[in-house]
Every structure is written in structure tokens, then in C-alpha cells.
Amino acid sequence: MISKLSNIFNKYKETRLNQKLIDAAAYGKTNKVIALIEKGANVNARDNREDWKRWTPLHWAASCAQTETVETLIEAGADLNAKDTNGMTPLDWAQMHLVESTQKALRDAASSSGETNSFRHARKVKAARVATRMRRP
């Protein structure tokens, strides 16, 4: 019984942490994004609130013109190919909202890997960079 309650509490805690990451990404609170990732928030968490098409933090940051946050999420390993319920990626949303600086950050990350459909290499390189960046005071 106690372990079942513990599992429920941990799931709730994880969900809250992920939702805070999604909100911080949307508002461009890059330092908070870094802190939440360090605490264990899932950089590819999905927004389960009604009407938000299961966006990831990267979808939110890209569509809200939060370029620095987009770069931080990419460095932390965010999935550039994540699709929402409409099949749209963060780059699609950045293009739709005419956010050129965010489009450039997403395209640069994609091209640095030399791959079109998989960004594993770029994520590994950028994850190492964000780890170094997060250690700074």
C-alpha cells in the first residue's frame, strides 16, 4: 500500500515538474528551464492540457519566439522532430508564426547533424554543451 502511494506521489511530482518546464519554455524563462532540467524534468514532455495538441517544451518555445530557450532545449536533447497531434514540428510552428531567429536555431541544429530525419548526433553534442553551460554560476 505504501509503495503504491509512493508511486502515485512520484508520478504526480514528475507531472508537475514537466508542466513547469513547459510553462517556463513558453515564457522564455531560460534559467528556470535549466533548473527544471537539472531537477529531472523531461525535455520532451508533452503538454496534456486540453486544446494544446500535446506540444513539447520545444513546440512552445519555438511558437512563442523564445530563441534562447529553444537553443537551451536543443542543447539538452529536445527532439527536433517531435510532432504534435496535427503532425507539426517545432520548426513548422516557428515558420507559421514567422519567427525567423527561432527557425534559424532549429535549422542550424538540424544541419549540424548532417541528417535530415534523425538528430541523434546533434543532440549528443548539444547535450554535452548544455551540461557544461548548466555548471556555470
Residue with cell 528551464: 33
pLDDT tens for each residue of the chain, 137 residues long: 666 555 554 555 668 999 999 999 999 999 999 999 999 999 999 998 876 788 999 999 999 999 999 999 999 999 999 999 989 999 999 888 888 888 888 888 888 765 443 344 444 444 555 555 555 55
Evaluate whether 103 touches 74 at the Cβ level (below 8 Å). no
pTM beyond 0.75, yes or no? no
Evaluate whether 136 touches 78 at the Cβ level (below 8 Å). no
Residue ranges per structural domain of the chain: 2-45+54-134
Q: Which CATH number among 1.20.58.220, 1.10.10.10, 3.90.550.10, 1.25.40.20 corresponds to the domain 2-45+54-134?
A: 1.25.40.20
Helix (H) or strand (E) holding 36: helix 30-38
